[in-house]
Amino acid sequence: MNRVSWDEYFLQIAGKVASRATCDRLHVGAVIVKNKNILSTGYNGSISGAPHCDDVGHLMLDEHCVRTVHAEANAIVQAARNGVCVEGATIYATFLPCWNCFKLIINAGIKRIVYGKEYRSDKKTVSHAKMVGVELVDFSMK
């Protein structure tokens, strides 16, 4: 058996984190890593204390479920709540981050995004990654 790369390892962990997601439209997981150490994880689910999609259904707006907080945002929030600096880290996400999550990732100081596959192609995310100097790694091609 071949040993998996670090990127594959952390992306597999993100996949396991996604199994906790509570919106059945798409289970997404994210892991923030620095120096090969996991700093934080997140999955898509409702805001703290609110009912989950899996329990009460979706809250749809413009073909998107807005009941949930995205996995990437939850990972960043969990790091912040625990006083963990994510500056210079890598985020591993099971799917290409949406535009709103991408903006949070950039402003949190994360410098590398590794994702498993595209959910909806977001050209803004791809073009702006180059513009702001963030490495974007499409792992679906590996």
pLDDT in tens, 7-16: 999 999 999 9
Residue 142 is predicted with a pLDDT of 65
Positions annotated as catalytic residues are: 72
Rounded to the nearest integer, the mean pLDDT of the chain is: 93
pLDDT in tens, 67-116: 899 999 999 999 999 999 999 999 999 999 999 999 999 999 999 999 99
Q: How confident is the model at residue 121 (pLDDT cuts 50, 70, 90)?
A: low
Beta 112-117 vs 90-95: how paired, if at all?
Answer: parallel
Whole-angstrom distance, CA of residue 88 vs CA of residue 66: 29
How is 12-55 classified by DSSP, letter by letter?
A: HHHHHHHTT---TT---EEEEEETTEEEEEEE-EEPTTSPPHHH
Predicted TM-score (pTM) of the model is 0.93
